[in-house]
Structure 1
């Protein structure tokens, strides 16, 4: 329980605070530094959850594979705006390995895939947006429901598309003049509804297509290696 509270403080307070400092004090000039600080903060809960050496190595290898799948998936579907498998892979990771792993895969996917798509002040926002989706999916109660109930999985896929879009719209508003304006935000949100809809639907499509093959494979790996 103590570790969980530490994790939530890092994910919900320290990382958003880091992004806020990057936007205000550094004025987005040090976005690469801020991105790596987020990675370091993300790794703290992950390492706190380590139990034994062999299990840790296997877990890290699997998560590295999930990050690679997510990055490649984003690249393959780059020609279709808003239609990406990233969120589905982040959710599947969280369902199988918990909130810390979900946040880690989401954050690293944004950072590494932007080597191709372009790094910028938006990167920390993407890292947090995909990461927080993984964190929510990995919360024990939600995690169990996503495993057992296909309807809950569909709803969460839609919810994730909306949350990602709303969080990224915050960056869109701030990027205009460095300040946040609620009226401008509502305008940006209304304009981004088509993207939000496409992304939410794509989450559901990829979750339904991958939950059985990838989910079952991850379950077998966990059982076989005692992860």
Structure 2
């Protein structure tokens, strides 16, 4: 298990480098970078394959949760900062772990943008939501996020984390930037990030515990993505 976590962390660091380099090397080759990123997001699954066999129903479960997260964003497209995507990613990651959380996070961004429009922002959204899934998965394994209050605090911070990562993409796209310009970007996005954070708290406070309970029952009953079985 420790080896899996180490490989996942190294994988995230590598993706960070790819994202930053994509803005400086061949920025016009958008779909090349998107394709490379999508292929790369399969790596956590291959890591788990190395540890134990992933059943077909587990793959289906990850796909369904990613589809729910992605499609839940579409009805809220008129209010881009207020949507339940992050909520679904967090509760799924708490139950099924960081690897599954990363897959659900990255796929949800790609799925939702099939309806809302793909662009250079897609891979950054995939990375941001994937990172939130990883963090929720790690904290969920320690039982920290099983408290409603802590879960809501994490959701609040996740809203700002997502916005800060997306601001970084906008900054890197510019040919020249200054610290004052960077501060202006982050200050101007504050209310949008705050709306995202508050919406996360709203969904987690109302539905977080019930979703976690339901998903945990599925996990136990059908032995889905059970980390206790990984070393057997």
Would you say same fold, with TM above 0.5?
yes
For 1:171, the equivalent position in structure 2 comes to 169
Distance 1:30 1:206 in 2: 37
- Partner SS for 1:139: helix
Unaligned 5+ residue runs, structure 1?
none
Distance 1:107 1:141 in 2: 19
Deviates more, 1:179-188 or 1:14-23: 179-188
Label 1:87 to 1:143 Cα distance change in 2 as closer, same or farther (>3 A).
farther
For 2:211, the equivalent position in structure 1 comes to 214
Query: Does structure 1 residue 3 correspond to structure 2 residue 20?
Result: no
For 2:200, the equivalent position in structure 1 comes to 203
Deviation of 1:210 after TM superposition, in Å, equals: 2.4
Contact 2:101-2:130 at 8 Å conserved across structures: yes
TM-score of the two chains, using structure 1 as the length reference: 0.91
Superposed CA offset, 1:93-138 (max 9, x none): 1101111111111111111211221111111111111111111111
Task: Identify the match of residue 181 of structure 2 among 181, 184, 198.
Answer: 184
Deviates more, 1:166-175 or 1:88-97: 166-175
Distance 1:87 1:44 in 2: 22
- Partner SS for 1:166: helix
Superposed CA offset, 1:54-91 (max 9, x none): x5222211111111111111001112231010111111
For 1:226, the equivalent position in structure 2 comes to 223
Distance 2:142 2:85 in 1: 18
Unaligned 5+ residue runs, structure 2?
225-232
Contact 1:137-1:143 at 8 Å conserved across structures: no
Distance 2:141 2:181 in 1: 33
Distance 1:145 1:195 in 2: 27
Deviation of 1:182 after TM superposition, in Å, equals: 2.9
- Partner SS for 1:206: helix
Give the aligned length.
Answer: 222
Task: Provide runs of 4+ in structure 1 moved above 3 Å.
Answer: 50-53, 140-143, 178-181
